[in-house]
Structure 1
Amino acid sequence: MQETAPPGPGRITVEGLGKKFGPVEAVRDLSFTVEPGSVTGFLGPNGSGKTTTLRMILGLVGPTTGRALIDGVPFAELESPGKVVGAVLEVQGVHPRRTARAHLRAGAAAVGVPDSRVDEVLGLVGLAAAADRPAGGFSLGMNQRLALAAALLGDPQILVLDEPGNGLDPDGIAWLRSFVNAFAASGRSVLVSSHQLAEMELTAQRLVVIDRGRCRFDGAVSELREGQGGRVLVRPADPARLAEVLAAEGITEVDRISDGRLAVGGADAVRVGDLALGAGVAVYGMTEERVGLEQMFLRLLAGEEVA
């Protein structure tokens, strides 16, 4: 079990968390920390234990072993939970005849905030123009925004979001990315579960990857990239000469591509460019090809080394 970080505003600490449903062990000895000021992506295949973990963090499911703490205490012990944590685990049903404003006013009363906060959150999620429309006419994406608005009513320090991009169009996804990053940049924290790996690569600063209830990776996106075998695609005037120069420097992962380019592994573009310049080999184009998050994710699940 990792050493417990000192309690602080906006911190989630998961320590040795485990959950069994009868003979099924959904989560096993899971430990990680979500720090203020960052977006933490929570990734894993279907059935990996992501939603069960989120529900334990929010006190909706009791753990079999370990504990989940928010600012140093279990969720149930928070004095005003709605003002500490805002959560969207699934899009909740809204009465089809109830307007977005009326729905949020009921939520505001439950959290203990004034009705003026309703107009604020409607503006934050881009639903101000639809505030007085019946929710029965909302698209899935609009319902996602309404659920997020409800989570924001208490002006929380933490957002816990389960697949928040479902139903959003590309503009909506870009808006969500900007929103959660701005939320985190204000010193608060976001824990977001998603299957949209390419989007998480653009959104999250840290990743927690689980499979079959166990943690497979916990760290910065840059750490996951280390040792991932990206390559440089270079178009030299003399491919054979450049290959010789690279080999002399111990860079032997060089393949000739049919269009005359070289694919170089084990070196970045700056290194390849400097060696070409030093050898007097003209270069007409060069790009770096990085391994995407989806490929890294699949390697993790296949049990390969990722760093």
Structure 2
Amino acid sequence: MQDHSGRIAVDGLSKRFGTVEAVRDLGFTVEPGLVTGFLGPNGSGKTTTLRMILGLVVPTSGTALVEGVPFETLVSPGRVLGAVLEAQGFHPSRTARRHLLVCAAAIGVPDRRVDEVLGLVGLAADADRGVGGYSLGMKQRLALATALLGDPRILVLDEPGNGLDPAGIAWLRDFLRGFARSGRSVLVSSHQLAEIGQSADRVVVIHRGACVYQGELAGLGGGRRGRVLVRCAEPVTLAQALVAKGLMEVDTLPDGRLAVGGADAVLVGDTALAAGVAVYGLVEEQVDLEQLFLQLTGGVAG
């Protein structure tokens, strides 16, 4: 029975295409009020998973439920979930307004909603231009407008930042955050790791069809911290002083520098000063989302 929660629940989801196992026993949830980032290298099974959620691909096993039921059994699905899998398929000579009017009629929403969504995505001034003259970024905005026509509780987006300039990406980030803050759900697949790091509340990372991490963004990578890289006159003496302070993650790099995990530059510098070791350079290196992603997926960026 449909529960109107705005929740997506994937459980034990698998899909085989002949001998190829595209998705393996995948499980995760998308909760209302949050932006959930869906990350993985090219070919990891992200798009196949999204297509199973949307009822476009039949799972080999497992379930993908939208508000407690399979997508194809939803009542008025366009009012429940809006999706953008690719910004293609627009008739080149049709205007954005005409395209949206056709789609609005198909899902049973009033024509006035067309102007509302055109304003939401920043296309009001270009609404009567032929879509064939649109840039890729403008087509992305039009695809998003189409997904928003039914004022859905859930958005599912596959690489929505493709073709957007930096201002457009910033706009998209703010829009998705606002959508989620209104109590609705966002599932966004992307390879733009730095952007996901700025917009997602939680992430699901898959590799070769299987989940390798899901949870809050802050917990990605098991709490791995940054490190300080230090070049000094007496690395052995400094390493001993750092260990004496309880800093056990001290390694010597091939170039002779020390890498000190779990510390900041002030602590390392003060320790060197107290030990009488001359320091020639200190660099704080933060572990970013891309580094963690590469570690989780075996160095395959996609």
Q: TM-score range by the shorter chain?
A: 0.7 to 0.9
- Find out whether 1:30 has 2:30 as its counterpart: no
Using the aligned pairs only, state the percent identity. Answer: 64
How many matched pairs? 297
- Find out whether 1:14 has 2:10 as its counterpart: yes
Which residue is 1:220 aligned to?
Answer: 216
The Cα RMSD (Å) is 3.1
Q: Per-residue CA shift, 1:170-219, capped at 9, x if unaligned?
A: 11111111111111111111111111111111111111111111111111
User: Mapping of 1:217-256 within 5 angstroms?
Assistant: 217-232=213-228, 245-252=241-248, 253=250
- Find out whether 1:75 has 2:83 as its counterpart: no
- Find out whether 1:174 has 2:174 as its counterpart: no
Task: Measure how far apart 1:120 and its partner are.
Answer: 0.8
Q: 1:26 to 1:239 in 2, by over 3 A?
A: closer
Q: 1:36 to 1:286 in 2, by over 3 A?
A: farther
Q: SS state of the match for residue 166, structure 1?
A: coil
- Whole-angstrom CA distance in 2 between matches of 1:294 and 1:199: 10
Q: SS state of the match for residue 104, structure 1?
A: helix
Question: Would the aligned equivalents of 2:238 and 2:272 in 1 still touch at CA under 8 Å?
Answer: no
- Whole-angstrom CA distance in 1 between matches of 2:72 and 2:238: 64
- Whole-angstrom CA distance in 2 between matches of 1:263 and 1:41: 35
Q: 1:182 to 1:274 in 2, by over 3 A?
A: farther
Question: Would the aligned equivalents of 1:257 and 1:263 in 2 still touch at CA under 8 Å?
Answer: no
Which residue is 1:65 aligned to?
Answer: 61
- Whole-angstrom CA distance in 1 between matches of 2:231 and 2:9: 49
Which residue is 1:289 aligned to?
Answer: 285
- Find out whether 1:85 has 2:81 as its counterpart: yes
Task: Measure how far apart 1:64 and its partner are.
Answer: 1.1
User: Mapping of 1:147-186 within 5 angstroms?
Assistant: 147-186=143-182
- Whole-angstrom CA distance in 1 between matches of 2:282 and 2:176: 34
- Find out whether 1:272 has 2:267 as its counterpart: yes
Q: SS state of the match for residue 82, structure 1?
A: helix
Question: Would the aligned equivalents of 1:181 and 1:203 in 2 still touch at CA under 8 Å?
Answer: yes
TM-score after normalising by structure 1: 0.85
Q: 2:118 aligns with which of 119, 122, 131?
A: 122
Q: SS state of the match for residue 86, structure 1?
A: strand
Question: Would the aligned equivalents of 1:28 and 1:214 in 2 still touch at CA under 8 Å?
Answer: yes
Amino acid at match of 1:53: T
Greater Cα shift, 138-147 or 285-294: 285-294
Q: SS state of the match for residue 192, structure 1?
A: strand
Amino acid at match of 2:117: V
Q: SS state of the match for residue 219, structure 1?
A: strand
Which residue is 1:3 aligned to?
Answer: none
- Whole-angstrom CA distance in 2 between matches of 1:235 and 1:26: 46
- Find out whether 1:50 has 2:49 as its counterpart: no
Greater Cα shift, 246-255 or 211-220: 246-255
- Whole-angstrom CA distance in 1 between matches of 2:128 and 2:42: 37
- Whole-angstrom CA distance in 2 between matches of 1:266 and 1:152: 46
Task: Measure how far apart 1:7 and its partner are.
Answer: 5.2
Task: Measure how far apart 1:142 and its partner are.
Answer: 0.4
TM-score after normalising by structure 2: 0.87
Question: Would the aligned equivalents of 1:18 and 1:66 in 2 still touch at CA under 8 Å?
Answer: yes
- Whole-angstrom CA distance in 2 between matches of 1:150 and 1:230: 42
- Find out whether 1:97 has 2:97 as its counterpart: no
Question: Would the aligned equivalents of 2:247 and 2:263 in 1 still touch at CA under 8 Å?
Answer: no
Q: 1:271 to 1:186 in 2, by over 3 A?
A: farther
- Whole-angstrom CA distance in 1 between matches of 2:236 and 2:285: 21
Q: Per-residue CA shift, 1:207-237, capped at 9, x if unaligned?
A: 111111111111111111434341135799x
- Whole-angstrom CA distance in 1 between matches of 2:283 and 2:77: 49
Q: 1:43 to 1:55 in 2, by over 3 A?
A: same
> Runs of 5+ in structure 1 lacking a partner?
1-5
- Find out whether 1:193 has 2:189 as its counterpart: yes
